[in-house]
Amino acid sequence: MSDMDLSPTKDNFSDVHYLTENTVCTILSSCEEKGDYSALIHVIGRVFSSADALVKSFRKDEPNTTEKPDSLKPTDVKKHEKKSERTSEKIGASSAAALPDEPPNNVSDPCEVTVDVDAVRRVYDKLLSIDQVDTALVNALVYLTPNTELDLEYLDVYETNPDYLNIFIIVMENNNLHSPEYLEFALPQFCKAMSKLPVPALARLSKLWSQYDLPHIRRMMETFQQLITFTVVCNEYDGDNLVNDDETVVAATKCLKVVFYASILGGDVDIEHNEDDDEDSDSDELTLHELLGEERLYKKGPRVDPLEKELGIRPVDSRKPLIPYEDFINESLNDVVEMDKDFTFFKVDAETKFSFQSCPFILNIITKNQGLYYDNRIRMYSERRLTALYSMVQGQQPNPYLKLKVRRDHIIDDALVRLEMISMENPSDLKKQLFVEFEGEQGVDEGGVSKEFFQLVLEEIFNIDIGMFTYDDDTKLFWFNSSSLENEAQYSLIGIVLGLAIYNNCILDVHFPMVVYRKLMGKKGTYLDLSDSHPDLYHSLKQLLEYTGNVEKDMALTFQISHTDLFGNPVLHDLKEEGDQIPVTTENRQEFVDMYAEYILNKSVDRQFRAFKKGFLMVTNESPMKYLFRPEEVELLICGSRKLDFEALEKTTEYDGGYSKDSQIIKDFWETINSFGEEQKRLFLQFTTGTDRAPVGGLGKLKMIITKNGSDSDRLPTSHTCFNALLLPEYSSKEKLRERLLKAITYSKGFGML
């Protein structure tokens, strides 16, 4: 039967039990002739409120049968659609690999569905221009979704009929879903039903949506975001009424995750080029944590999201998503989520309570950093408790901190020896809170001494004369020296220092290209990563790939490359065996570029980077960092923000000892600071806080304190970097204030300076 054979002939269209594009057009024409849309409204209401009717509607191929359409059960429809479903109803990471073995005629796309999406869009274009029909769609959705939710939760309906997914595909094509009529009742119930879909169904949706045009994916993202924002704004949350318990927000967040992965799948993706996993496998021996009944709560590695596993893709695999990551962050939600509670759900009650850290894309880096802070502090407390227990059993003095006593003029040797001993004898000591003491100095470490320790270690290790790293004057970035003579322990020390900085919430002045953070997160460097790490080489290789002439004759390149060693001598390296005999041609130039990048970013520095990563993982291997943060966010955690917003700092600064924001010297102080150049501002920040970078969230998060330190005198301003406190005498003039302040920030180093 054709669509026209199925077209209704009765005026009330009561025999229509599912919809096709032709059916809708026929009913619409009839209604327009009469000037009465009631028949159309009744049909729309009846079909869109019935799961069975919607599953059968808008099919790509109508069932070839003489039975009445309404007599078809979902399982019968499945039989008629057997050809299109033969290879693609169950999708997973391995399905794509299995497809080539199928006969050519039976191959179908892994995200192939039986609903005609283009027809659905054309139908919505006609229907949504009629107000009464839109109201009917809202009411139908309110009636449909509770039954759908029950079907999915208790009857496993998707497993018996994968075409059940058509309901969600059809509903999500409605362009009005974000309008107020839907937001209050229909859309929240729809999201709850959609969140009950099994993971394979959500993965199938994600794959299908990843093939849509950008405006369609963006509209779906905005629909879920609108619902989350609307719900959060309309409610009040506190310690007893958590946003985590709001079913609408939770369901919409889970739905947004499907769009998030669709955005990744539809963008530029690199699922290859993964670094070998260096993390040690769990030992079979019982640890003290287990003997105490803690079941290795803080020994678990980063978890894997079920949808991520089903799709076989991770956010770190994404080079450029269809929709920028920032658009998935919901600031309204970030304002109300209580991270201490959310962290508990994430770590302990993951099975019974929803944690927004299971959907980290919706959280901004400030909120995620709070979660990481709680994780770090609890692990510090756990190690401290174990140390106390060991000490009681062994009758020794407890040592609850990771204590480093170093000499300022031998800082690398002292730190290296101490950290190397700890990493060999008891690596878990690295999880304790860091406590640094400079020999012969009176500073007590409450954060500030550690900051200076980190800065001094980095200054020395990144010294070009040592030769551990090379420096690019144009990019201002460091890279591993492939011909360095230093042993691996030095590189491990740098890794440990970076890990300790994250663990102890310190900002470091480190200048690495982004590929270093991608490699730390498990990805190998590729040709595209050369753009910021080795820009000149990147442009040369790009020109090679785009060259339209005869590559072999005009460029005379072979698979043998040359680079300079530590002493500036040229070193030849064959990318292939007997590479000097293999010319680079138009056909093999992509292979040449890939092998060149592989050598520069991975093979040539393999020894150095492995040691560096090993040190980093000694501190962070149990942290959820890899799960929560993308490479660019890890850089922010380690280095802080390069943007210095002193207006934000001024707004959040507090005053003590008799000063207030209206004191004349405070007004003079901020006028003086704002008149400084970029370098002087960084020196001031270094002097007051111990680092010249802004923390995650900007300078407004610093909570600087300016306190009165006596009346006018010739003494210099001093600071307690541990507390971000500036001790400022009440100078008699603005000129004197400027002169004394510049002197203090220019010549400040060491503790105990008066």
Residues designated catalytic: 722
Token pair of 130 as six digits: 């009629």
* Contact predicate 264/217, CB 8 Å: no
E-strand ranges in 452-559 read 469-472, 477-480
Q: Which residues contact 196 (CB under 8 A, 6 or more apart)?
A: 149, 152, 153
* Contact predicate 215/315, CB 8 Å: no
Nearest to 697 by CA among 341, 367, 356, 338: 367
* Contact predicate 568/481, CB 8 Å: no
Unique residue bearing structure tokens 């802080």:
640
Unique residue bearing structure tokens 């929803």:
354
Q: Which residues contact 217 (CB under 8 A, 6 or more apart)?
A: 209, 210, 259, 262, 263, 266, 322, 323
CA of residue 371 relative to chain centroid, distance: 14
One-letter-per-residue 3-state SS of 290-341: HHCCCCCCCCCCCCCCHHHHHHCCCHHHEEECCCCHHHHCCHHHHHHCCHHH
> CA–CA separation, 461 vs 469, rounded Å?
8
| Angle ∠(482,485,490) on CA atoms, nearest 5 | 90
Strands 570-574 and 560-564: antiparallel
Alpha carbons within 13 angstroms on the beta-carbon side of residue 35 total 0
Burial of residue 5 (CB within 10 Å: 0-12, 13-18, 19+) is exposed
**Residue 563 main-chain phi, psi, to 5 deg:** -145, 165
Nearest to 308 by CA among 409, 410, 199, 209: 199
| Amino acid code (one letter) for 411 | I
Tell how many helices (H) and how many strands (E) occur in the chain. Answer: 36, 12
- Cα Rg, the chain, nearest whole Å: 32
Nearest to 343 by CA among 358, 323, 331: 358
* Contact predicate 58/123, CB 8 Å: yes
Query: How many CB atoms lie under 10 A from the CB of residue 77?
Result: 21
Alpha-carbon dihedral 342, 346, 350, 355, rounded to 10 degrees = 40
3-state SS assignment for residue 231:
helix
Alpha-carbon dihedral 401, 402, 407, 410, rounded to 10 degrees = 180
3-state SS assignment for residue 730:
coil
* Contact predicate 321/263, CB 8 Å: yes
Q: Which residues contact 216 (CB under 8 A, 6 or more apart)?
A: 209
Token pair of 647 as six digits: 């207006």
Q: Which residues contact 101 (CB under 8 A, 6 or more apart)?
A: none
